[in-house]
Each structure stands twice: as C-alpha cells, then as structure tokens.
C-alpha cells in the first residue's frame, strides 16, 4: 500500500487504484478472554485470549460450542469409570478446569481499554 498526501494507492489485481480522501478506520474484533487458572477475579489485562471472532455474537456462539465440546469430552472420559476413578483421572481434571475457565470467559471487544496492562 502506498500513501502520498491525500491519496492512498493500492495494487488491486495488478492495477494501481487511487482512493481520494481516505479516512483512517479501526476494525473491531472480539476476543474470548479466559481468566487465569483459579482466578476469575483477576484484572482483564491478566486474562489470555482464547480465540478471536469478527462479531460479539460469533464470540458467544464460539464459547457455547467450546463448552459443548468440553462436556462431550468429559462424558467420554467418564464412561466405564466409578465416580472415584473419574475424579482421580488427570485428564478429567484438566478438561474440567478448562471448562470452568471457559464458563468464566468473557467476550470483549478488541479495543476495550481494560485489555491494556496497568
């Protein structure tokens, strides 16, 4: 992309196209933010991005899909095990922890000021 004065020039399929009076704009995406393990009360700047999405609705749908996958995974791990075996299973512990983090997750706009470190 080339900029010159009030013009923005870009190559589109081998052709040089000039766009007059271009205005800067910001594309806002959405992050599914996951809290630190065991601390869903931590400041948002300490959370990690689980996934990114184009819209808030896509983020919420993504969160629901991830939770459904965790429930299914835990169900598969539980098959044929007693409650004691299931609770002691390291894989069950891992996926249960991931499910808890995702339940606490929040969809946050990528330009949210709370994402900046303090």
Domain boundaries, given as residue ranges, for the chain = 32-112
Q: What is the pLDDT of residues 8-27, one digit of tens each?
A: 444 444 444 454 544 444 56
Token pair recorded at residue 118: 């303090």
- How would residue 117 be classed by pLDDT, with cut points 50, 70 and 90? low
Is 109's pLDDT higher than 60?
yes
Q: What is the pLDDT of residues 43-96, one digit of tens each?
A: 999 999 999 999 999 999 999 999 999 999 999 999 999 999 999 999 999 999
């Amino acid at each position: 992309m080339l900029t010159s004065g009030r013009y923005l020039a870009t190559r589109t399929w081998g052709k040089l196209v000039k766009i007059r009076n271009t205005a800067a704009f910001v594309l806002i995406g959405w992050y599914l933010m996951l809290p630190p393990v065991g601390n869903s009360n931590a400041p948002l700047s300490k959370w990690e991005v689980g996934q990114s999405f184009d819209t808030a609705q896509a983020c919420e749908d993504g969160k629901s899909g991830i939770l459904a996958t965790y429930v299914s995974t835990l169900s598969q791990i539980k098959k044929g095990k007693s409650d004691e075996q299931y609770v002691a299973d390291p894989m069950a512990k891992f996926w249960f922890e991931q499910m808890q983090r995702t339940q606490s997750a929040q969809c946050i706009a990528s330009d949210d000021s709370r994402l900046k470190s303090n």
